[in-house]
A and B are shown apart, each in its own frame.
Chain A
Amino acid sequence: MSTGHVLLGLLSRGQQHGYDLKRAHDDRFPAAKPMAYGQVYASLERLHRQGFVEPVAVQRVDGPDRTVYAITATGRAELTDWIETVETPFVHVANPLATKVTVALLVTDTAYATTCLERQRASHLDAMRRYTRAKTDPSLPIHEVLAADYAIAHLDADLQWMESALQRVAALGEAIAT
């Protein structure tokens, strides 16, 4: 995720200063790490140098001066370009769970690898239960529902892989033994 593009997206709704942008970011993206003020100001300076934002006013309210920024036409074009660029699907080639199963088979046997997989599965399901419970609270804000959807979908992918692995573990054990 690009911090600059997120800030451009927030500015597309209207001009804001860094302090408000940081708060808007943390509200909109609760699953993301809170944005540090230093990171916001550094990104705004970079966006300014690139011509994507411009300072339009300076506000002073009981404290230091706050520069208010607005998105430029070039910034809007850049934002559109970023949104419309399809992300390359992330392929989990290096699967730490698969590595562990293979190592378990190297040092012991199918029964042991199965036990390890079942315990991992139980742990994943516990996590999924927590997200599911959180989601059934009707007061959960919609962006947090979406964040939980994402977590559940990824846990579900791992769980489906583990179900297949449980059915294939004997065959893998035989392949490793030969």
Chain B
Amino acid sequence: MKSTEDEQPALTARSVVMSYGHTPALKGISLAIGKGEIVAVTGPSGSGKSSLLLCLAGVVTPDAGEVTFGDRRISAEGEGQRSRLRRTEFGVLFQFGQLVPELTAIENVALPLLLGGRRRSEAMTAALTWLDRFEVGGLASTRPSSMSGGQAGRVAVARAMVAEPKVLFADEPTGALDTLAGEQVMAQLIRVTRESGTTVLLVTHDARVSAYGDREIRIRDGQLDHHPARHLASVSGPDGDLG
């Protein structure tokens, strides 16, 4: 039997509201994401899916409502605490092409550990292990300008995973990669995060990426989009009740 701790969701949002100035982005979103779940957040452009990711990852605090990570109410924490949380417990992966161009693959991957105060030799060893897990260990000394899009993508995922986050947030993780390169990145990302039991939140407009998730959370106009079964008999037409 699972313990209570196992059953506690990794992340929850309760009635989260957020606006950019007078423009509402999230209009009261409530959801729970289980530990080790891979969830795709989808919706049309401007629907609020990236804003939801920013709130859940503690990058921004909502105007109302709360976000919790385990027992921590992160929406009530200050920037310093949230920043530490993002470095230690969360991995963030934005559209590819964000590797530091002057650094080699291994230096790019070691960067989050070095910024977190880890010794250089330890950070480089861990970085090589993660490059190997994504089958790009051979590129350790290569700079991003000499990598293919797919290779750079895998290095970026290795960098997001090197601190062994509990939750990985990925916003359009395949970016502008072609279908096959995007597929390789996604297949390896899913394999590695399933092995490590990492919770993954994938924000995407691409159904092919969404299909890697265990389930989908659909956002429309800043709200969760439910589409429950409705029978024609219960729907009133222009001429009255069709039932």
Q: Contact residues of A with B, CB < 8 Å?
A: 107-109, 112, 115, 118-119, 122, 124-125, 128-129, 131-132, 135-136, 152, 155-156, 159-160, 163, 166-167
Contact = CB atoms under 8 A, between A and B. Distances in A.
B177 to A, nearest CB: 15
Given A118-B227, A128-B211, A112 B218 contact: no
Contacts of A108: 232, 235-237, 242
Contacts of A129: 211-213
Interface in B177-208: 183, 187, 190-191, 207-208
Which of A112, A135, A136, A166 has the most chain B CB atoms inside 10 A of its CB? A136
Contacts of A124: 207
B232 A152 contact: no
Going nearest first, the 9 A-B pairs with the smallest beta carbon separation are A118-B227, A128-B211, A132-B211, A159-B207, A129-B211, A108-B235, A136-B187, A119-B227, A108-B237
A119 B229 contact: yes
Nearest to A106: B237
Contacts of B218: 118
7 contacts: A108-B235, A112-B230, A115-B230, A128-B207, A129-B212, A135-B183, A166-B44
A163 B44 contact: yes
Contacts of A159: 207
B216 interface: yes
A107 B229 contact: no
A107 B190 CA distance: 43
Contacts, number: 52
Given A119-B229, A132-B208, A132-B211, A125 B190 contact: no
A115 B208 contact: no
Contact of B211 (A112, A118, A125, A160): A125
Which of B207, B213, B230 has the most chain A CB atoms inside 10 A of its CB? B207
A132 B207 CA distance: 11
Nearest to B230: A115
Contacts of B225: 118
B210 interface: yes
Nearest to B213: A129
Interface string B232-243: 100111000010
A156 B232 contact: no
A104 to B, nearest CB: 9
Contact of A125 (B216, B230, B237, B242): B216
A160 B207 contact: yes
B44 A125 contact: no
Contacts of A125: 207, 210-211, 216
Interface string B126-157: 00000000000000000000000000000000
A80 to B, nearest CB: 28
Interface in B48-79: none
A170 B187 CA distance: 37
